[in-house]
Amino acid sequence: MIINHPLLGPRDANEFVHLGDVSMIDRPDGMDADAAAKFHDYLYLRDNPAGEYRELWYHEAGDRSWLVVTRDTLTHAISSVELARDVARTRGRSK
């Protein structure tokens, strides 16, 4: 596969490490009252879609960017690649 890195252009997927669902960005707050249940759902349950999937890849053999790749799990077609940091901010993460 080829991932079109937003900063570096097309790179072979072999340079990257795959983590999983973009929802890994949405880490609950451990100080919440029902943190245990939230962390269970966050860490263990998956939509696991057959079709469009937003996922996290890490450019380990490259610039060490975490990326959010939108890829179809039936065809492997990639429709967009974003810097995970930007996506994280849009999902409300800060410090």
Partner 1 sequence: MSNNFRIDVKKSAGLIDRTQPMTFKFNSKTMHGFQGDTLASAMLANGERLVARSFKYHRPRGIFSAGSEEPNALVQLRTGAYQEPNTRATTAELFDGLTATSQNHRGPLGFDIMSATDLLSPFLGAGFYYKTFMWPAAFWEKLYEPIIRASAGLGSLSMLEDPDKYDKGFLHCDLLIAGAGPSGLSAALAAGRSGARVIIADEDFVLGGRLNAENHTIAGMSGHDWAQQTLAELAAMDNVRILPRTTIFGAYDHGIYGALERKTDHLPHAGDKPRQVLWRIYSKHALICAGATERSIAFANNDRPGIMLAGAVRAYANRWGVATGKQVAIFTNNDSGWQTASELSAKGVNITAIIDPRDTAPRAHIAGATIVMGASVCNTAGRKALHRITLTNGQTLNADCLGVSGGWSPNVHLTCHQRGRPVWNDDIAGFVPGGDLPVGQTIAGAANGDMTLGAALSAGHKAANGIVKELGFTNSRAQVAKADDETFAIKQFWHVTGHKQRAWIDLQNDVTTKDVKQSQAEGFKSVEHLKRYTTLGMATDQGKTSNVLGLAVMAEATGKTIPETGTTIFRPPYNPVAVGAFGGRERGQHFHPTRLTPSHRWADEQGAQFVEVGNWMRAQWFPKQGDKTWRDAVDREVIQTRASVGVCDVSTLGKIDIKGTDAAAFLNKMYSNPFAKVPVGRVRYGLMLREDGICYDDGTTARMSENHFVMTTTTANAVLVYRNMEFARQCLFPDMDVHLISTTDQWAQFAVAGPNARAVMAKIVDKVDMSNDGFPFMACADVTVCGGTPGRLFRISFSGEIAYEVAVPARYGDALIREIMDAGAEFDITPYGTEALGVMRVEKGHVTGAELDGRITAFNVNMNGMVSVKKDSIGATLSRREMMVAENQVRLVGVKPVDKSDTLSAGAHFIAPDTAPTTQNDLGWISSVCYSPHFEQHIGLGFLKGGHKRHGEIIRAWDGVRGTDVDVEIVSPHMYDPEGGLQRG
Partner 2 sequence: MRYSALSILKNGLTGNKNWKPVWREPEPKKSYDYVIVGGGGHGLATAHYLAKVFKGKNIAVLEKGWIGSGNIGRNTTIVRSNYMLDGNQPFYEMSVKLWEGLEQDLNYNAMMSQRGILNLAHSDGQRDAYARRGNAMLMSGGDAELLDRDAIQKMCPFLNFDNERFPIQAGLLQRRAGTARHDAVAWGYARSADQHGVDIIQNCEVTGFQMKNGKCIGVETSRGSIKAKKTAVCVAGSSGRVMAKAGMRLPIESHVLQAFVTEGLKPTLPGVITYGAGHFYVSQSDKGGLVFGGDIDGYNTYAQRGNLPVVEDVCAGGMSIMPMIGRSRLLRMWGGVMDMSMDGSPFIDKTGIDGLYFNGGWCYGGFKATPASGYCYAHLLATETHHKHATQLRLDRFMTGNIIDEKGVGAQPNLH
User: CA separation (Å) from 26 to 1, 37, 74?
Assistant: 27, 14, 25
Site track 18-57 with partner 1 (rule: CB under 8 A), x = hit: -x----xx-xxxxx---xx--xx--x------------x-
Would you say 23 and 56 are in contact if contact means Cβ atoms under 8 Å apart?
no
State yes or no: residue 50 binds partner 2 (CB under 8 A).
Answer: yes
User: CB 49 → partner 2: shortest distance, Å?
Assistant: 8
User: CB 46 → partner 1: shortest distance, Å?
Assistant: 14
State yes or no: residue 26 binds partner 2 (CB under 8 A).
Answer: no
Please say whether the dihedral angle defined by the alpha carbons of residues 36, 20, 65 and 67, taken in this order, is positive or negative. Answer: negative
**Element holding 88 (H helix, E strand):** helix 84-90
Q: Report how many residues bind partner 2 under the rule CB under 8 A.
A: 26
